């Protein structure tokens, strides 16, 4: 595990239950009713009905800062994911997902394959990402560690209680992780890729829903927009060594009905870097 982003700590191999579908519950307008239904609502917000393929696009900024310094924008981030969501008979929610993302020059779709870190002035080679995730929330909305996931000192993940104001609902996911990072068995050629031995991550995602859509049957696709913030440690390739500080994601995005609804520039970039993946994502 190179960094404690959400895709790392949830990147295990937990199996999904087969054949489960989202039941069509009637929901009252009382807040407590929404809280009781939060696992189901979150599943609808994030994915497509009945375990069908879901699509999500996002974009935003990646910031970096030393502990006592002001933040500096490192990259514009562009990403896209496929997912399948299942509400199982026991009330648990399973998700299988795979995403790709690119660190791009600010304000562009041009991947930053060579990059000078503006904090320390060192030349770096950013590693764009492609990662699978499989995990399960229990019936109360608590994330369960997937089988095969890296060991951590603390892991707390939960679906948030819905917040309703007027015709809008917000529901999200909070993931807090702390882990000791073992020293490499063989010292790396570049000592600046070795970071402080304890890493933390605070990962916060929020979906915005229209109450009219929340009230529709579970068999109906539900629109949702997304905001995402994460605070975590440096990536090793940033060559920050033992410097105290870290990175922050600031992303916004939305569910798509079709994958070709993502920006054309991102489609072109994905096809260049991952030929065939959009047609066969493996999820």
Residue 212 pLDDT > 60, yes or no?
Answer: yes
For residue 29, report the phi and psi dihedrals to the nearest 5 degrees.
-90, 0
Q: How many other β-carbons are positioned within 10 Å of the β-carbon of residue 283?
A: 18
Q: What is the pLDDT at residue 126?
A: 98
Strands of 105-234 (E only): list them.
115-116, 123-124, 129-137, 143-144, 154-159, 163-165, 168-180, 198-210, 225-232
pLDDT band at 149 (very low <50, low <70, confident <90, very high): confident
Structure tokens at 4: 């404690």
Mean pLDDT within 43-50? 95
Angle at 95 between CA 90 and CA 101, to 5 degrees: 170
Going by C-alpha positions, the residue among 206, 212, 211 that lies closest to residue 225 is: 206
CA distance 17 to 27: 25
Structure tokens at 161: 């209680």
Dihedral (CA of 248, 238, 197, 79) sign: positive
Q: What is the pLDDT at residue 7?
A: 53
User: Hey, is 169 helix, strand or coil?
Assistant: strand
Strand partners, 200: 178
Q: Quick check: pTM over 0.85?
A: yes
Q: What is the pLDDT at residue 5?
A: 53
% helix / strand / coil in the chain, to the nearest 5?
15, 40, 45
Going by C-alpha positions, the residue among 142, 143, 152, 129 that lies closest to residue 199 is: 152
Percent of the chain with pLDDT over 70: 89
CA distance 43 to 51: 10
* Residue 212 CA, distance from chain mean position: 26
CA distance 230 to 250: 7
Structure tokens at 25: 């519950």
Mean pLDDT within 43-71? 96
């Amino acid at each position: 595990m190179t960094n404690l982003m959400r895709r790392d700590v949830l990147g295990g191999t937990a199996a999904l239950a087969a054949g489960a579908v989202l039941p069509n519950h009637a929901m009252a307008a009382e807040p407590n009713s929404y809280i009781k239904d939060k696992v189901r609502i979150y599943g609808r917000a994030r994915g497509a009905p009945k375990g069908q393929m879901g699509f999500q696009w996002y974009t935003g900024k990646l910031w970096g800062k030393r502990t006592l310094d002001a933040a500096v924008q490192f990259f514009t981030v562009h990403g896209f994911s496929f997912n399948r969501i299942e509400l199982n008979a026991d009330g648990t929610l399973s998700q299988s997902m795979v995403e790709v993302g690119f660190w791009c020059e600010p304000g562009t779709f041009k991947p930053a394959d060579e990059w000078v870190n503006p904090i320390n002035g060192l030349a770096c080679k950013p590693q764009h990402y492609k990662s699978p995730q499989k995990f399960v929330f229990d019936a109360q909305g608590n994330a369960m560690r997937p089988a095969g996931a890296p060991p951590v000192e603390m892991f707390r993940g939960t679906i948030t209680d819905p917040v309703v104001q007027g015709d809008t609902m917000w529901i999200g996911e909070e993931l807090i992780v702390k882990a000791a990072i073992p020293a490499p068995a063989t010292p790396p050629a570049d000592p600046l890729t070795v970071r402080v031995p304890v890493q933390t991550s605070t990962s916060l995602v929020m979906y915005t829903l229209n109450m009219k859509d929340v009230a529709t049957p579970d068999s109906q696709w539900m629109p949702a927009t997304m905001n995402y913030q994460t605070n975590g440690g440096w990536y090793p390739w940033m060559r920050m060594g033992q410097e105290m500080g870290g990175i922050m994601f600031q992303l916004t995005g939305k569910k798509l009905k079709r994958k070709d609804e993502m920006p054309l520039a991102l489609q072109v970039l994905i096809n260049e870097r991952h030929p065939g993946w959009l047609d066969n994502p493996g999820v």
